[in-house]
Amino acid sequence: MDNFFIYGAYGYTGRLITENAVKQGLKPIVGGRDALKTEALAKQYELDFFVLNANDTKQWNHILSQVKLVLNCAGPFALTVKDIVPACIKNGVHYLDITGEIEVFSYIETLNTQAIEQGTVLMPGVGFDVVPTDCLSAQLHAKLPTATHLELAFQGTSGVSRGTALSMVRRYHTGGAIRKNGKLINVPLAYEDKVIHFGEKDRLCVTIPWGDVFTAYHSTKIENIKVYTGVSEKTLKTLRNYRKFKSLAKTNLVQWIFKTIIKRKIDGPSAIKRATCITHLWGKATDATTGQSVQAELTTPESYYLTALTAVESTIRVLKGKCKPGYQTPVTAFGKDYILGFEKVKLSLN
């Protein structure tokens, strides 16, 4: 197996991915910004390591001369990709990450032609964001190829990691996003709510700017897409009340306050939660012309545990040449059944 580099390897999700890679007999090179944390992780697993910032061009060129692929786990990804991805393309090195940030997908797609010319794969979103939902979208589209509208929803119970929370705070003031008639549309936070029956119960859900608003269109060409997540009545009310603070949320002071609280209070789901929690997903594709629709439910392991599995498997497949160069989603790279190959994943399509 060719060498690959995990950047942000000591973070919550990066560590899980590194642990899984080592369990599979792989020897990734690990790296990150914090010297002490990076070295400690490397020593724990007897791995080579580098300490560097995302914009350290000289160091990146040195690393990229030694590896065939970069798996970026250092979020918020919007702050790292514009340095890392062009360097990967320049050096003919494949790039994967675990982002769910729409702006990252959008930016990386613009580099498609350059990547093809260099024989480089660009595949952001190889974790829970967006492997299961991308595959669910494609399953629905295969069942109803004339679909004009796509709705997706998911509900997890394990909580979020520090990195996920920091990414959410950074994007909070931008509101939500949907796709309408093929175009990305900015909408208010908690723009639309609805009750969806999945996971054997009714769940109150609210629209969120999930990565599939971008990626599902690339995978299926369905022009109208909304993504929801389950929330409580209290959370929905809070989200809508926070709209009035939108302008304040992007100020340096408020961002600093939020980040300080997150770093003190949030780590990530415990090992017990990762081992026992289940994530429920739902999707519906509709042909607005005929009124015909199909629905599906998908259950997967806990989202961070699943991310460790899908990120490593995606890395292995790309290194083995099982993916065409250029910008790819998990579905365009590996097909609609990709998620079904992982443990404890079940699909119900009707």
CATH number for the domain including 51? Answer: 3.40.50.720
Are 120 and 156 part of one and the same domain?
A: no
Are 98 and 140 part of one and the same domain?
A: no
Distance of CA 247 to the CA centre of its chain: 26
132-174 residue pLDDT tens: 999 999 999 999 999 999 999 998 754 443 344 444 444 555 5
The structure tokens listed for 218 are 């690339």
Closest CA to 149 of 216, 211, 208, 199: 216
Query: Could you give the strand order of the β-sheet that contains 121-123, starting from the edge strand earlier in sequence?
Result: 49-51, 29-32, 4-7, 69-72, 94-97, 121-123, 326-327
Domain annotation covers residue 309: yes
pLDDT score of 257: 45
In percent, the amount of the chain with pLDDT more than 70 equals 85
Domain annotation covers residue 347: no
Average pLDDT over residues 210-237: 91
Backbone angles phi, psi at 188, to 5 degrees: -65, 160
Q: What percent of the chain is helix, strand and coil (3-state, nearest 5)?
A: 45, 25, 30
Domain annotation covers residue 83: yes
Are 98 and 161 part of one and the same domain?
A: no
Are 66 and 170 part of one and the same domain?
A: no
Are 154 and 216 part of one and the same domain?
A: yes
Distance of alpha carbon 153 from alpha carbon 208, whole angstroms: 9
**Which residue did the predictor score with more confidence, 36 or 232?**
36
Domain annotation covers residue 349: no
- Look at residue 256 and tell me whether its pLDDT is greater than 80: no
Counting the structural domains of the chain, the total is: 2
Are 135 and 231 part of one and the same domain?
A: yes
What is the domain extent for residue 189?
131-302
pLDDT score of 197: 93
pLDDT band at 254 (very low <50, low <70, confident <90, very high): very low
pLDDT band at 274 (very low <50, low <70, confident <90, very high): confident
- The residue length of the chain stands at 350
Closest CA to 203 of 147, 159, 162, 155: 155
Amino acid occupying residue 259 = K
Average pLDDT over residues 274-295: 93
Are 265 and 152 part of one and the same domain?
A: yes
CATH code of the domain covering residue 151: 3.30.360.10
Domain annotation covers residue 234: yes
Average pLDDT over residues 59-83: 95
91-132 residue pLDDT tens: 999 999 999 999 999 999 999 999 999 999 999 999 998 999
Domain annotation covers residue 340: no
